[in-house]
Each structure stands twice: as structure tokens, then as C-alpha cells.
Amino acid sequence: MASEPQGLPFLCWQQQIEEGKSLGFDPEHRGRDSLFIVRRHGKLFAWRNACPHKGYEGAPMAWRKDAYLNQAGTHVMCSGHGALFDPETGVGLPGPCSGRVLEAITITVTPDGQVLLGADQTKEI
């Protein structure tokens, strides 16, 4: 049985991210969110806030704080040039980022619902 993970930065409580919504995080306190988490089909997926658009690699993706998704909440939308991504796989749909992939961020959800940045090293493999 896994024990409590130690020392991983706390991001939020998992119930703070509703279905079809996203939240951005700045765990390094750089003044700009470096990653975001989206809930899709009940699961959480974390991605680096960095569009893979050719020539714009690393550009921020939200148009407003925490606004990383299309209106229906079904896709990640980069508001730089409208590229759409599958929120579960990070794969770009046909369009500006066709076939390009978002960078996945590892998160850990504890039994009591904390969302932590990084892998739970205490978990048995």
C-alpha cells in the first residue's frame, strides 16, 4: 500500500477542477503559469503551458488566467493561433499544430484528494 508522498509541491484539491474545466499553476513563482490541468471524462491531465506551434514553441496558451479550453470544454485550445489538442493525449488536431504533442507533466493525486506536482516515489511499481 502506498504511503503519503513527501515533499511534492501542492497544486490544488482535485475537486477544484470541474469536468471540462482547466486551472493553471505557477509552482516556481515565475509570474506566469507554467502548467495547467484539465479534467476530461473524470480524469485529470496535466500539460506544460507551452504551445508546440512551429516557430512559436513555448508560447503561453491561455487567453486569460485558467482559460485553456474551447467553449465546450472538449479540447485544449491555444489562443495564440487557435490550435486544438486532445486533452487526454495532448495530440494536436488538424490545423496549426497538426500532429504536434503537448508536453505532459507528471502529477500525483493523493487518497485524500490533493493534487501534487511530480511522481509519487513511494508508490510500489
Partner 1 sequence: MNIVGLDSLVFGVDDVAACCQYLTDYGLLPKNVCAEGGEFEALDGTSIVIRHRDDASLPAPLATGSMIRKTIHGCADQATVDAIAEELGRDRTVLRLADGAIESVDDMGFAIGFQVSVRKPLDLPAEAINAPGAAPGRPANVIGADESIEIIPRSLSHIVYFVPDSKKAEKFYIERLGFRVADRFTNLGPFLRPAGTLDHHTIFLVNTPPEMQGVEHFTFHLGGPTELLLAGKRFQDKGYESFWGPGRHIYGSNWFWYFNSPMGVHVEFDADMDLHDDSWTPREIDASADASQIFNFTLVNKWMPGGDPH
Is residue 96 involved in binding partner 1 (CB under 8 A)?
Answer: yes
Neighbours of 44 (CB within 10 A): 16
Which CA distances in Å does 106 have to 12, 99, 115?
14, 21, 10
Q: Which of 11, 37, 77, 115 binds partner 1 (CB under 8 A)?
A: 77
What nine digits make up the cell of 116? 501534487
Gap between the Cα atoms of 37 and 98, Å rounded: 21
Residues ≥6 apart with Cβ < 8 Å to 86:
75, 76, 93
**Which residue shows C-alpha cell 511530480?**
118
Does 54 interact with partner 1 (rule: CB under 8 A)?
A: yes
As measured in angstroms, the least distance from the Cβ of 8 to partner 1 is: 27
Rounded least distance, CB 63 to partner 1, Å? 4
Q: Nearer Cβ to partner 1, position 7 or 99?
A: 99
Our finding on whether 95 is near partner 1 (CB under 8 A) is yes
117, 8 contact by CB (below 8 A): yes
> Does position 90 bind partner 1 by CB under 8 A?
no
- For partner 1, which is the closer residue by CB, 44 or 56? 56
Residues binding partner 1 (CB under 8 A): 31, 53-55, 59-65, 67, 70-72, 77-84, 93-96, 98
